[in-house]
Amino acid sequence: MRPWRNWIWLLLPALAACGRDRHIGKGHEFLELGDLERAVQQFSQAINAAPRDARAHHGLALAYCRSDSAGPALRQYRILCKLSPDLADDRFLRQKTAGYLGLEPYPSSRLTSARGNDAFPAISADGAMIAFSSKRDGNTEIYLMEADGGGQRRLTDNRGVDYAPSFSPDGRTLAFVSDRDGNDEIYLLDLGTSAQRRLTHHPGEDGLPAFSPDGGRVLFISDREDKYRIYSADVLGAGSGRERGLHRVFDDDLNKIHFSVRRDRLLVQEERENQVALFTAPAEGGPKQALACPPFRAGLPTVLSPDGEHLLFTSSREGNDELYLLRVRDGASVRLTASPSQEFGFGFSPDGKQLLFDSNRGGDRDIYLMHLDRLMTREEILAAIERE
């Protein structure tokens, strides 16, 4: 045999490895571009060249999860668990595969159990307290409890309907909606003194109050100009009998059907030609930045996570209202709840480790806290796959 042929035989494994690595690299490029079909092709070619390459199986599992190909994704994840437990610990893979198995990837704690539909939960800026509305005593009123569900107490007591509480940044005041004076208006409640003051005064319907980041203003939605728009009013005007510093946050004439405040930014659901669009903007108005979003329930909250990297939304895409978490940078989403009941999400704890929602999974509507720092383990998911 000629000497140069010996070199060829020595080079063949290296050449094969280069080809495999090239396919894996291209697969990840296509994943970033959202071209999932070509990503699957590249990772599959890498596996054909090296069937036990864990990186290729990891990439293929990601591509199948991104395209919601449940069966192939579960098969790849099972293989990956055996080849590389470390790669199988991928957070996104565990979230998605748990959902494909009909499981909730994170555990939840039930915080309320009284009869009377507990709803509209809001968590304080320090994460210590939760306010909510409840009809447990015969009329819809505002209640307060500790973040673990303890110390539940009633804050309002009148014949009107009080709901949709929101904490001030310092946690000392609640803004809420009440129709005690004939129509929906915004009120403020001092948690130290229990004193209540009316903030808005208009025959239109005012709702969904939220404090500005500095606590000096309350933003709310109102139909006082025929369409729902976001307005802002000075807190110091509460109790004066008139609205102080009132102005529209945005000058356009489009319906603003929901919004939430996250630090100094607004996340707004806007209605455009019978479609819902999402955008972010400064809390006091300004340039808008559009966000890509999947189909979701338009009348329900869409909430930005504290780090701004995820959107919490409600969708009935699989038959009933469930909670989903969408990764803003690439649009990848994971299903968080899996029950025949309705779940509506209302926000995150300040550190992003808990998610606040209400659900009728226990019969009446109650408040739940989902623990986003306790994702199902690889071993738990693999055991569930083996039981299928």
Q: For residues 142 and 176, is the Cβ–Cβ distance under 8 A?
A: yes
pLDDT at 1 over 50: no
Query: H helices of 34-168, where?
Result: 36-49, 54-66, 70-83, 85-88, 91-100
Mean pLDDT over all residues of the chain?
90
Q: Mean pLDDT across the stretch 24-52?
A: 94
Here the tokens at position 378 are 């690889």
Alpha-carbon radius of gyration of the chain: 25
pLDDT at 104 over 50: yes
Output the pLDDT for position 209: 96
Summarize pLDDT for 372-385 with one digit per residue, the tens.
999 999 999 999 99
Here the tokens at position 292 are 């890509």
Summarize pLDDT for 148-171 with one digit per residue, the tens.
999 999 999 999 999 999 999 999
Domains of the chain (ranges plus CATH)? 11-104 (1.25.40.10)
pTM of the model: 0.88
pLDDT at 4 over 70: no
Output the pLDDT for position 15: 42
Q: Mean pLDDT across the stretch 180-207?
A: 95
Is residue 290 very low, low, confident or very high in pLDDT (cuts 50, 70, 90)? confident
Q: For residues 288 and 296, is the Cβ–Cβ distance under 8 A?
A: no
Q: Which residues pair with 282 in a beta bridge?
A: 265
Q: What's the half-sphere exposure (Cβ side, CA atoms, 13 Å) at 362?
A: 18
Q: For residues 326 and 332, is the Cβ–Cβ distance under 8 A?
A: yes
Summarize pLDDT for 348-372 with one digit per residue, the tens.
999 999 999 999 998 889 999 999 9
Scan for tokens 């995150």, then name that residue: 348
Look at 278 and 90; give whichever has higher pLDDT. 90
Q: Mean pLDDT across the stretch 236-252?
A: 87
Residues across the chain: 388
Distance CA 350, CA 127 (A): 6
Per mean pLDDT, which range of 31-45, 124-138, 275-289 is the poorest? 275-289
Output the pLDDT for position 186: 97
Output the pLDDT for position 297: 65
Q: Which of 276, 255, 173 lies closest to 216, judged by CA?
A: 173
Q: What are phi and psi of 45, to 5 degrees?
A: -65, -35
Residues of the chain with pLDDT > 70: what percent? 93
Greatest alpha-carbon pair distance for the chain in Å reads 102
